[in-house]
Amino acid sequence: MEKKILFIVGSMRNHSFNRQLANDAKKMIGDKADVTFLDYRNIPFMNQDIEFPAPEEVARIRSEVEQADGIWIFTPEYNFSYPGVLKNLLDWLSRPLKQGDFGGASAISGRKVTFSAVAGRAAAKGSRAKLEEVLKLMRTDIMNEPVTAIAVGPETMMSDELVLTDDQKKELEAQIDAFLKFIG
């Protein structure tokens, strides 16, 4: 049976560097796994007033997460952290599936997760650290090494094109191979 990997891109921008990296990863994975991208742009802000029953978009997203063998998050860095849209998604995914069952299952608890990042000169060091922290809190099974972390300079920012070096391609290939083994 083919493994299913769900890509979550933390930027809503269609041509973001992290989406470009995710597209590169998908090409490299090829037929080794079924890769899909999570579309979460229409979920509402997390609000306990509308939590139960879950809004239709939230229920759809939870279902996609639960059907995946692995989740791969690609995150930019905004102000030394991951974006608010990604945080909102993670908040919804971390909530209990049964009302009042705060120690019980969520859509993401126990899921195998890895992450990569493209950002400025620190290669998203802040967002990666904070993302790992929240994923641990959410009781996910994190593969945090190897991780692809790419620093982009002003020239790349101005060109709006992410072109991976040979070393960065090897880094991404190593993460792909490790994650495929990790999800079994």
Residue pLDDT, tens place only, 6-30: 999 999 999 999 999 999 999 999 9
When pLDDT is cut at 50, 70 and 90, the band that residue 1 belongs to is: low
> pLDDT for 106-134, tens place per residue?
999 999 999 999 998 888 899 999 999 99
Q: Is 69 helix (H, G, I), strand (E, B) or coil?
A: coil
Amino acid at 159: S
Q: Is 116 helix (H, G, I), strand (E, B) or coil?
A: strand
Q: How many domains in the chain? A: 1
- Mean pLDDT along residues 155-179: 94
Task: Give yes or no for residue 174 having a pLDDT over 90.
Answer: yes
Q: 89: which 2 tokens? A: 């998604």
Residue 110: name the closest of 89, 132, 136, 133 by CA. 136
* Structural domain of 143: 4-182
Q: What is the CATH number of the domain that holds 169?
A: 3.40.50.360
Q: CA angle at residue 181 from 183 to 174, to 5 degrees?
A: 120
The pTM assigned to this predicted structure is 0.95
pLDDT given for residue 154 in this prediction: 86
Query: How far is 102 from 94, CA to CA, in rounded Å?
Result: 10
